Amino acid sequence: MQQLIHSLGQQARQAARQLARAETAAKNKALEAMAQALLDGADDIISANTRDLDAGKSAGLDAAMLDRLSIDAKRIADMAEGVRQIIALPDPVGAISEMNYMPSGIQLGKMRVPIGVIGIIYESRPNVTVDAAALCLKSGNAVILRGGSEAAHSNRALAACIQNGLRKAGLPESAVQVIPTTDREAVGAMLRARGLIDVLIPRGGKSLTERVASESLIPVIKHLDGICHVYIDDTADIQKALKVAINAKTHRYGVCNAMETLLVAEAIADDILPALASSYLAKGVELRGCVRTRAILADEDIKAATEDDWSTEYLAPILSIKVVDDLDMAIDHIETYGSHHTDAIISEDITRARRFLREVDSSSVMVNASTRFADGFEYGLGAEIGISTDKLHARGPVGLEGLTTQKWIVLGDGHIRG
């Protein structure tokens, strides 16, 4: 298995050199051909997908998993549209910035360049195959894709469309490789492929991400949890607080930037919690509160929160609520129980807002805005490959720029060091 990964890795490395110097037009041409091949190959893709779905049903996959796995004409059209959106994004590769003359006379700047070879390890959603391939290609990287075994036929059919596109644009087909085995050993071999894969991006459930993070000998871009907080300070504008706290929880439940814990300053809790609670309950959100929260709300409206609630990402219509003394206690809570994903303060006080922005150590920190904004599209990155709660290299939504790095460039006229 290590040998298979080694051979795929070496082919990817070769392809990466070609991709790094590929012109934007060639990459866009390949993307357009990919999009067209997906639409033209819809029948093949759907029939491969049917084989996966049949096998999944026999294996007893639940309805949610089967839904994530399934591909129909609408989903194919969405994938093709996603690829065309990536065509429209500016090419990050080759951008030169901060070019200045130094005291020695050399001209020094930075050039944005691809990382090299990206490994993506993901689970049942076959659309990741297309998204990840398109983002890596546009950013000039070769990619090795390892999808879930339950989607093997679908992924192979999608890969055929992708390689069709690469061929049409004269780019190497090994720029995008799908691992041709469902052997679980392949993941382990990828995690050890130092020197062949430059960075790994796991996309899937927490247990997959945890395994990749704990075993990988290669840098990983990931997030484990999205335990996002909204803190309503006693200086908050009540109307803004209500709007943001409702949106952050109820706009969508199953997403990593949804609020999971609401923190409310004691001095404003009586004024805002009853109205907030009735809005949540009207939307069917289950509430779990601390002692002080439960002293304010009616017993039938709220359960007692346990210690575990503060560190749980529900991804569901459930919200934990804690009344805190002040900003210090709110920040302490966030640093203790949070996942460094996205946290917001609602306050009209500029000094408290400045402290929250500086002191909360999360990938996105917000003032008077919904945590739901933490997203590649909202941040103007276009498509995103994921969200990182790591601190190094890429933090927060990761778009094309997060798939690149910078090298220093120096221009001289025979300059030597004295």
Kindly identify the residues of this chain, within the stretch 163-202, that bind a second copy according to CB under 8 A: 194, 198-199
Using the rule CB under 8 A, which residue among 240, 266, 311, 329 binds a second copy? 240
Of residues 198 through 227, those in contact with a second copy by CB under 8 A are 198-199, 214, 217, 219
In this structure, are residues 117 and 141 in contact, taking their beta carbons and an 8 Å threshold? Answer: yes
Alpha carbons 239 and 104: distance in angstroms, whole number: 58
Backbone φ and ψ for 263, nearest 5 degrees, come out as -110, 135
Question: Would you list the DSSP string of 292-360?
Answer: HHHHHS-GGG-EEPPGGGGG----SSEEEEEEESSHHHHHHHHHHH--SSEEEEE-S-HHHHHHHHHH-
Q: Which is nearer to a second copy, 7 or 104 (CB)?
A: 104
* 254 binds a second copy per the rule CB under 8 A: no
- 326 is a site residue for a second copy (CB under 8 A): no
Per-residue b or e along 269-301, where b marks 16 or more CB atoms closer than 10 Å to that residue's CB: beebbeebbeebbeeebebbbbebbbebbeeeb
CA of residue 347 relative to chain centroid, distance: 28
The nearer residue to a second copy, 77 or 373, going by C-beta atoms, is 373
How many chain residues interact with a second copy (CB under 8 A)?
A: 71
Contact characters 365-384, a second copy, x per CB under 8 A: xxxxxx-xxx---xxx----
Residue 329 sits in the site that holds a second copy (CB under 8 A): no
φ and ψ of 99, to 5 deg: -85, 115
Of the candidate spans 175-183, 276-284, 319-327, 405-413, the one that interacts with a second copy by CB under 8 A turns out to be 405-413
What is the nearest approach in angstroms of a second copy to the Cβ of residue 395? 6
414 makes contact with a second copy (CB under 8 A)? yes
Site for a second copy in 118-137 (CB under 8 A): none
Question: Which of 7, 104, 181, 306 lies at the binding interface for a second copy (CB under 8 A)?
Answer: 104
Among 239, 299, 300, 307, binds a second copy (CB under 8 A): 239
268 binds a second copy (CB under 8 A): no
389 binds a second copy (CB under 8 A): no
Alpha carbon separation from 401 to 391, 394, 395 (Å, rounded)? 16, 9, 11
| Residue 64 makes contact with a second copy by CB under 8 A | no
Structure tokens at 41: 């190959």
